[in-house]
A and B are shown apart, each in its own frame.
Chain A
Amino acid sequence: MTALKGNRTRLQTSTSSDRFVYVLAIPLAFILLVYIVVPMIATLLTSFQSGGDVYRDFTSGTSKSALILSVLISLGSVVTSGIVGTCLAVLLTRFRFPGRGILKIVALVPLGLPPLIGALSFYYLYGSSGILPRAIASLTGLPAQAVAFDGIAGVMLVHTLTMYPYFYLSVSAGLAGSDASLEEAAMNLGSSRARMWRTVVLPMLTPALVSGALLTFMVSMASFTAPQFYNVNTLTMRIVAAKTSGNYELAAAQSTVLSIVSILFLLTMRWYQNQRSTRSLSKGTPQVATPLTGAWARVAAGLCSLLIVLTLAAPAATIVLLAFTVDGTWTTQILPPQYTLQNFVDIASNPRSLRPILVSSQMSLLAMLASILIGVLTAWVVARWRGRGASVLDLMIMLPWALPGTVVGINIVTAFASPTPFNLGQVLVGSLWILPVAYFIRFVPLVFRNAAASIAQIDPSVEEAAQNLGATPWRTLRTVTLPLMARGVIAGALLAFIQGFGEYVASVVIYPARFTPLSVEIYNRQYANELGSAFAYGALQMAVILIVLIISEVVQNPRPHRDKR
């Protein structure tokens, strides 16, 4: 057969790099299928084991009220964190005032709070037995309960002060990227400052506000630690309660409903972002922050920013303070009465106390390595595959990002409980391996997204140049693409590592008895009234997060202009 004849029949033809993409895509799709998609289906099937009767709980039982409560709390969190985040963003991008520099740094502190210990610190700061209510009670004589944040109010407070960064970051980026000349044009055409904000700035911020709102809603729906401490019966709480009481079917049904809600939000978010992707960012006149003038205005602004800084930094400070208390000594006093270094000495010297740290760090490291391998290769395949398969892979790997940790836990428990062909005969329940698998599933989207962002910045012709110079597709990936992605990938992987290191929500559902992860150990210690020890772990967690964030910052923005090779 001549080449000519053979080719005439084909319209779409593939080149060798296309084939390389397919060769990689198949094993990746297989792994994502086994660890992400099949567990979701397993949960769905479990919920229908007796014909789906358990779903009746959503029309009459506790599931119904739990779902409604979850949705209401999430909507409320969107509003409150939206207001706090947007105000902070406007203040910090548009005005110059005393204390702005420190406020800018402190505004990001909530991102550095470990999820479990963060919520716990709010409980001991604002709850009915917390520092502030007790202080107010002793000053004013009011009962502490009257001024405390408890129950739903407590959950809302935790949500607001930990989730406003989603708004703060997106609105800041939107404000900083907007073109000052547009606002000047509006004012030049005779609109007042207020009208200009309403008709020009707010519409431009809509994408930032919408994505902040969707993200906050998703995270709120998934929230588990805050409801647990304040004993608020959200859907996530009901799932864990059902699982603990052995009612796997109900837990699966509740997980399925929560998954559907979350995935719908993920899809809405992607759809919305695609709609907006053509929006051009004009590089017009840069924005300048307005300095506040006048002595009184500056003093007032300085005091306000001091107050905000104190509020935002208080949870972290509380964690550090409580880390030094002697276990069991803080009863009804405003502040803990006795302090010691013993909690840290104990962690370092007692192998039993050190063990949770080792378990969490090692399992998280394993999960990070797997996430790098799968996340990076998938990002490459998605970027280079010119077919519909790319978006399927993209969706598959991003699914766990939408899923609440509780649901991921339930999914794994249902899928890997007994050997089936679909889980390749793996039984993970009760084994140590269930932890890295869970962390991998939860945090591979982080690595994937960072890797995808890095690839988007690589000019495809650089890869072509390598092939043109005789490099095979694999060699091109190894010597050109991967080195160029390295910085973004390392940053994403470090983030995945700290998330895994502090992971609580899925861990508490799945952890094997002999291997307590760090966050579960913190919970247990707090439960046993060993507050000092619990918070000492928390302080160490914060230190790890801080160190990793600094490393990540250095990796992404190295000081010297260019390193020589």
Chain B
Amino acid sequence: MTGVSLTDITKDYGSGIPSVNSLNIDIADGEFFTLLGPSGCGKSTTLRMIAGFVSPSSGQIRFGDRDVTRVAPHKRDTGMVFQNYALFPHMNVATNVGYGLTTRRIRGDEKRRLVAEALEVVGLSDYADRGIGQLSGGQQQRVALARALVIDPSVLLLDEPLSNLDAKLREETRGHIRRIQKESGTTSVYVTHDQAEAMAMSDRIAVLQDGVLHQVAEPREIYRCPATAFVARFIGRSNVIDGTVEDVDARYCTIRLDSGGVLRAPRAARTSGDCPTPGESIAVSLRPESLAIGPANSSDAPAAGSLRARVKSVEFTGATCTVTTQVGESEVLVSVPDSNTLPQQGDDVDLTPSPEKIWMVNR
């Protein structure tokens, strides 16, 4: 069992814009670590560099103390679950699962026992003799998982393994994968573009965009304390509004928003921990559920710490309603519990964020 560390990893395919740019990540032993980002962010390239299918242009990859940067894929002892499962179509389920054992010179009874165990873990004991073409997508996915786990790899790599399943099966399977991973305690690197999946499964998440690492943190922290505007927008829903720091006192800093209005945020409400300086360009992240909405007071200006807005639309989404409002130039979403006293389209309202939930992010 080993941790994985990527030191200063860059991959440039020669286009001049690196697919992965100076990436530094340390994954702890036994951790379930997720690389999250939109398509083209470099997450799959990073995973393929860990697997050895792609060589980094520069940097170092270590499994524990072992430098594997130049090691061939078949000598790395990783178990990978591919997006399309990559099962061997000319072999049956048991032969697929046993393939990695054969290459490790585990044969005979020992091999049969391990394959049977692995199939039992994924609930496919009765399917050992089936051909791959006779399995459903979900079953194929589990064969792929069993095949990667049976070799007891140092690192388990999962490349969007759930993306080809339907929504219901996806939720079931992610719980299943997480449970198996916890039982085996295998260090796992998981790639996905689905933030909900990442939040539900991971010990820690790394958010990437255009080959650049934005933040590495636990799911809760990523949600509450996004490091950048990109992270705030990508994880959950958020209103990210640009502004300028006007004043900083002992506890709060005052930010004048470009779209009009002034907000006060705790001066420590920033992932880097750096205290903002007056005049600094910054953005604030306001989660839709952290905003209180009320009728505009009669005066021209809203109370201190509130924003004056006009309701553009109200959308019923079940337990909550999403109110879309216009604050100056910016559109601000507010999520409120459904009630009979919701504002109507065209109403003037005041939005009041709870100060401890305002988070400052770099633009």
A-side residues, CB < 8 A to B, are 3-4, 7-8, 10-17, 459, 461-462, 464-473, 475-476, 479-480, 483-484, 561-562, 564-565
Find the B residue at minimum CB distance from A457.
B89
Binding site for A on B (CB under 8 A): 7-8, 12, 14, 51-60, 67, 69-70, 72-80, 82-84, 86-92, 95, 99-100, 103-104, 129, 131, 133-134, 147-148, 151, 157
Closest B residue, CB atoms, query A6: B70
Which residues of chain A come closer than 8 Å to B129, judged between CB atoms?
Answer: 564
Q: Are A562 and B133 in contact (CB under 8 A)?
A: yes
Cβ contacts under 8 Å, B92 to chain A: 564-565
Q: For residue A15, which residues in chain B have a CB less than 8 angstroms away from its CB? A: 52-55, 72-73
Given A467-B73, A470-B151, A475-B103; A461-B14 close (CB under 8 Å): no
Are B131 and A16 touching (Cβ within 8 A)? no
Q: Given B8, B59, B73, B147, which contacts A464 in the complex, CB threshold below 8 Å?
A: B73
Task: Find out whether the CB atom of A7 lies under 8 angstroms from the CB atom of B82.
Answer: no
11 interchain pairs (CB within 8 A)? A15-B54, A459-B84, A462-B89, A464-B82, A464-B86, A465-B86, A467-B73, A469-B148, A472-B74, A476-B74, A562-B134
What 3 pairs between A and B have smallest CB-CB spacing? Answer: A469-B100, A16-B72, A470-B103
Residues in A neighbouring B95, C-beta threshold 8 A: 565
A304 to chain B minimum Cβ distance, whole angstroms, is 43
CA distance A10 to B56 in the complex (A): 9
B57 & A10 in contact (Cβ 8 Å cutoff): yes
Q: A480–B77 contact, CB under 8 A? A: no
Residue pair A562, B69 in contact (C-beta under 8 Å) = no
Shortest C-beta distance, A513 to chain B (Å), equals 47
A-B pairs under 8 A by CB, number: 121
The docked-state distance in angstroms from the alpha carbon of A260 to that of B129 is 56
- Residue among A3, A470, A483, A484 facing the most chain B CB atoms (10 A cut-off): A470
What are the residues of chain B within 8 A of A17 when measuring CB–CB?
53, 72-73
Name the residue of chain A whose CB is nearest to the CB of B151.
A469
B73: contacting residue among A12, A13, A468, A479, CB under 8 A: A468
Tell whether, in the assembled complex, residue A7 and residue B57 are in contact, meaning their CB atoms are under 8 Å apart.
Answer: yes
| Residue in chain A with minimal CB distance to B97 | A469
B53-A464 in contact (CB<8A):
yes
Interface pair B73/A16, CB less than 8 Å apart: yes
Q: Are the C-beta atoms of A484 and B103 separated by less than 8 Å?
A: no
For the complex, what is the distance from the CA of A8 to the CA of B57, rounded to whole Å?
Answer: 7
B99 adjacent to A483 (CB under 8 Å) = no
Least Cβ–Cβ distance between B149 and chain A, in angstroms: 11
Q: Which residues of the partner chain A approach B100 to less than 8 Å between Cβ atoms?
A: 469-470
- Partner of B99 from A11, A12, A461, A466 at Cβ < 8 Å: A466
A4 pairs with B60, CB closer than 8 A: yes
Contacts of B82 on A, CB cut-off 8 Å? 461, 464-465
Partner among B57, B80, B86, B91 whose Cβ is within 8 Å of the Cβ of A11: B57
Distance between Cα atoms of A462 and B14 in the complex (Å): 26
A7 and B59 in contact (CB under 8 A), knowing A465-B82, A470-B100, A564-B129?
yes
Residues of B within 8 A of A10 (CB): 57-58
Q: B222 to chain A: closest CB distance in Å? A: 29
Minimum CB–CB distance for B17 against chain A, Å: 13
